[in-house]
Chains A and B, each alone.
Chain A
Amino acid sequence: MTFLEIVTIWNNYIPISIAIWLLLLLTVFYFAKSPIHMAIRSLCTVLHDGLLQMSKSVIAASGKLKERNREVLLSAGMASVEKHIEREFYRVNTTVERDFSGFPVLKRQLLEQISKIDEDYHQSSNIPPNPPEWIEAVESLVKLENESSGNKAVANILKEIHKTTASQHKSAMDEYKKVVSVYHTALSKLMPYWRKVVKTLEIVGKSFTGLQERTTEIDSRMEEYENILSKSNKAERILSSSSMTQFFISGMVLAIAIAGAIINFNLIALPMSEMVGGGSYIGSFKTSDVAALVIILVEVAMGLYLMESLRFTRLFPVIGQMDDKMRNKMMIITLVLLIILASIEASLALMRDQIAINNQALLQTLSGNEPVSASGSIIPTIGQMVLGFILPFILTFVAIPLESFVHSSRTVIGVLSVGFLQLISFLLDLLAKIISNTGELLVNIYNIMIFPTLWVEELLFKKLKNNIENKSGNDTPQKTEKNLTLDKIDIPLKEAAS
């Protein structure tokens, strides 16, 4: 029996057949109304509850991840501050060893200089000679002169005495000036010693100032350390912001390094085809390109080891834990390997220049032109060689931003993951709400589809009510038409509530 035969049940008359089918379907849907409503609501409730549960799980996971991120961040911050404090103490130790190991010598010098100054000072502090004893005699004579005024003999004697005294006074003063001059000379000799003392004290002062700066730095770091230990929000915020900054800065430097590596690659890829062949492939990549890439990666790896051996980075704990002798050996080996690789690159750069010239000459010949000789300047060739030599060493410094990038990316990825989980949770919540409302919408759409049967039901219900009311007379309170209609409308709501 075909579909058309099933449809045309009324004497092959399609419109009537369709009407009969519609009537049948409406009847079936009308009687199946309650179970279908329940099924729709149950399905939507299950989906809604499931999605809400999922959303809660995602939020819980996000919370756990956030907590874990916080722990990792604080732990990393703690390690970093510990490293800083350790370095500061190391610097203090170096300062003390450097400056204060010579302190006994300084002390001895100071004491010597002070004793010398003391000695010279004592020499310069002699009391000037007392006035001669005969001054008193002169004073008596002066009095005598005053008493015996007009006595010529006495006057003459006194004049003579005055003359002698004046000459003696002059000679005494000369002697005194001489002695004072000697003392002044001795005092002026003290000046360099004073300067030396001041200089020595300045050196000591500077050392103390350096130490004071270090201790201030240590104090600040210790405060930071205490903040981290107390797991304060402030410490977390500071560390998180610092990680973000580090991530972007190191990412930018890494991008520059990658650009450098690309230039390096182009410099050596062509000449590599002379060494490993230009027509062989590994997968879908030219072997020469792969070889060039491998050389660059090996250079980067050597750079990482070198930086690790120099303790600039701490990416490989094994290298960091090596004893100094072994670490130095490793440093020398990696440096030698880097120099060899840089030399290879320089020679490849030279070969590249020659290959480019040959290719150009070939193309000129093939196009029927006379090959144009290359310009006489060797500057481009030297430039390429120098570039080939220094690029591996420049790539060595990639280790520093790489370390920052690796460390900070943990925090950044953690923050992004938390954000992503929160977004998923929000979307699940939203979906749950949409599904919940969609259930009601579907129920209403179903009611609209079977509205003729609902309308008939309402009519029948009204008629039945009227009959019952007519039979019971005025014993029961009358319900208005409006109330009946509202009752009917309330039915789906009651169902919904059930």
Chain B
Amino acid sequence: MKTLSTLLILISLFILGCADTQSHSTGVYLLMDTSGTYTKQLNQAKTIINYLLGKLQAGDSFAVARIDSGSFSEKDIIVKVTFDQRPSVANQQKLKFKQVIENFVTTAKGSSHTDIKGGILQAVEYLDEAGSGNKHILIFSDLQEDLAKGYVRDLDKIKLDMTGYNVVALNVTKLGSDQINPVKYYERLDSWDEIVSDRGGTWKKINDLKRLEHILAK
């Protein structure tokens, strides 16, 4: 009996020793720009979301939020889910998720301002809480920030740690001013790259939406 109990303790210790300390799940937070004319691009965002729903597995987390005048808010999260461990249940959740997004895209109204930094702060908060091992923030926007009067988004004063975060800018459309002076477009991209890289994250831009397989690749 003594030998048996010793053996059981040893086996338990072995199993506990093997227990996973690192999360292997993936967390994706997609920010959709709903400001101005960019609302017309939302159908493309739907394609990306459907692609991601197909790729994400049981146990992964996925949230879609809009970028509006004040994006640093839970209210801007359109839908969020952590998929069930059972694949069959996860499939049902994905179908519901798709339905919610379709409803949003058809009823979405344009906002007057664009608070991208607020959205990023909200995304980091959500993904940190979800405890995902692989964290991805996808920004579906032209990356032109336009804060409402009185809104302050000074990231230098916030201890924002983005280590392990993969930030992907999707469908970064060229603005009218970019046509006149392309330098502005590249400066805009570089400034976002700097914001993310300085805080430990990785930055990537994908404009060709036929190359979606690169979104979740680090």
Chain A interfacial positions (CB closer than 8 Å to B): 270, 273-274, 277-284, 355, 358-359, 362-363, 365-368
Contact = CB atoms under 8 A, between A and B. Distances in A.
A281 B91 contact: no
Contact of B59 (A270, A280, A363, A367): A280
B58 interface: yes
B94 A358 contact: no
B130 to A, nearest CB: 12
B91 A359 contact: yes
Contact of A277 (B18, B50, B60, B86): B86
Contacts, number: 62
Given A274-B88, A359-B91, 12 more contacts: A270-B87, A273-B86, A277-B85, A278-B58, A278-B90, A282-B18, A282-B19, A358-B87, A359-B87, A366-B53, A367-B50, A368-B50
Contact of B20 (A274, A280, A365, A366): A280
Contacts of B24: 279, 281, 284
Interface of B: 18-20, 24-25, 50-51, 53-54, 57-60, 83, 85-88, 90-91, 94-95, 98
Contacts of B95: 362, 365
B54 A362 contact: yes
A269 to B, nearest CB: 12
B154 to A, nearest CB: 38
Contacts of B53: 366
Given A283-B20, A359-B87, A366 B58 contact: no
A213 to B, nearest CB: 52
A487 B91 CA distance: 98
Given A274-B87, A358-B91, A362-B91, A279 B54 contact: no
Given A277-B58, A279-B83, A280-B59, A358 B88 contact: yes
B87 A363 contact: no
Nearest to A365: B95
Nearest to B85: A277
In the A-B complex, list the 7 residue pairs whose CB atoms are closest, starting with the nearest: A279-B59, A277-B85, A278-B58, A366-B50, A281-B20, A279-B58, A281-B24
20 contacts: A273-B58, A274-B86, A277-B58, A277-B59, A278-B86, A278-B90, A279-B24, A279-B25, A280-B85, A284-B20, A284-B24, A358-B88, A359-B87, A359-B91, A362-B95, A363-B54, A366-B51, A366-B98, A367-B50, A367-B54
B94 A362 contact: yes
Contacts of B18: 282-283
B13 to A, nearest CB: 14
Given A278-B59, A279-B57, A279-B83, A366 B88 contact: no
Contacts of B60: 279
A143 B113 CA distance: 168
B209 to A, nearest CB: 14
B212 to A, nearest CB: 12
Which has the most chain B C-beta neighbours within 10 Å: A279, A281, A362, A366? A279
Nearest to A355: B87
A273 B86 CA distance: 6
A356 to B, nearest CB: 10
A436 to B, nearest CB: 53
Nearest to B25: A279
A111 to B, nearest CB: 68
B51 to A, nearest CB: 8
B92 to A, nearest CB: 9
Contacts of A270: 87
A362 B94 CA distance: 8
Contacts of A366: 50-51, 53-54, 94, 98
